[in-house]
Amino acid sequence: MTRAVLALALVAAACAPRPRVAAPAPALTRAAFRASADALVGDPMFRNANWGVLILDPATGDTLYSRNAAKLFMPASNQKILTGATALAQLGGDFRFATHFVSSAPVVDGVLRGDLVVVGQGDPTMSDAMMGDAMRPLRAAADSLWALGIRAIAGALVKGGNLFPDTTLGFGWEWDDFETPSGAAVDELFFNNGVARVTVFGGDRPGDPVRVRTRPARTISSPSRPTRPRSSRASATSCAWSGRRTSRRNCCSPRDASISPMRAATARRSR
């Protein structure tokens, strides 16, 4: 009986339909790829646009697709892809930016008897976006100086180095770009992506001094008087700065933009 059941099961298994295996998709030929790319960039929605495309095989260097590849275009934000890929390839994933504090002056009784020079490398991580509080790494630097026995600086805290000797602004940028976060210039001491949030509080009556507050660091002070009545409600604007020049609206001092946050951190630690 057992043999009969087993034989019946084998017969049923042999008669059962076999599962279908999907046929492999045909390989995309170079001609088909070019036709697909032409259809994409030739869409009527791009009738007023110009495309410059060059796609190479990374293994062989062969040109897979080319369209206006020899023409000159003003690069836009897509240049960040090439910049980021180049930095990753040249520097590696473990690269770390360093900010050096140097001085030739002696330390006597906890006092640095001279200037302390801050030499940056354009560290982009000192920002609210990366650290939650852009002042956190600066306070850590102040703690390191304290741990080395420095309690006060008799001289000045000054900016040193010239790692980016070229202009800090992009070629072809318009004046309107400088008032947006994406238009911030790049310099050796790059703080909070080059952007400060400025909040201006109006007085109770026309002619009263206004109060100005900046975040994440105190970059401007001294209240000023408005030339015409202002609302008592607070208004906010984002202003871009450069380490070498002011923004068009002069919302931040160029010297304070790069060194003032560090000065504030060291002053807080010395208290």
Most confidently modeled range among 24-33, 115-124, 254-263 = 115-124
In this structure, of 150-154, 233-237, 255-259, the range with the lowest mean pLDDT score is: 233-237
Query: 219 or 135: which carries more pLDDT confidence?
Result: 135
| CA 167 – CA 187 distance, rounded (Å) | 9
Query: 8 or 128: which carries more pLDDT confidence?
Result: 128
* Dihedral angle over CA of 185, 188, 193, 195, nearest 10: -60
**Span 82-104, pLDDT tens digits:** 889 999 999 999 999 889 999 99
DSSP-derived letter for residue 125 is T
Give the DSSP per-residue string, 8-60: HHHHHHHHSPPPPPPPPPPP--HHHHHHHHHHHHT-GGGTT----EEEE-TTT
% the chain with pLDDT above 70: 71
Residue 49 structure tokens: 């646009």
Phi first, then psi: what are they for 202, rounded to 5°? Answer: -75, 160
Phi first, then psi: what are they for 112, rounded to 5°? Answer: -75, 110
| CA 135 – CA 218 distance, rounded (Å) | 11
- Alpha carbon distances (Å) from 59 to 64, 174, 225, 248: 12, 40, 65, 48
Residue 214 structure tokens: 């900046």
Is the distance from CB of 115 to CB of 159 less than 8 angstroms? Answer: no
**Span 42-74, pLDDT tens digits:** 999 999 999 999 999 989 999 999 999 999 888
Q: Give CA 191 to chain center in angstroms.
A: 10
Query: 77 or 15: which carries more pLDDT confidence?
Result: 77
Residue 229 is predicted with a pLDDT of: 37
Residue 208 is predicted with a pLDDT of: 83
pLDDT reading at 233 higher than 50:
no
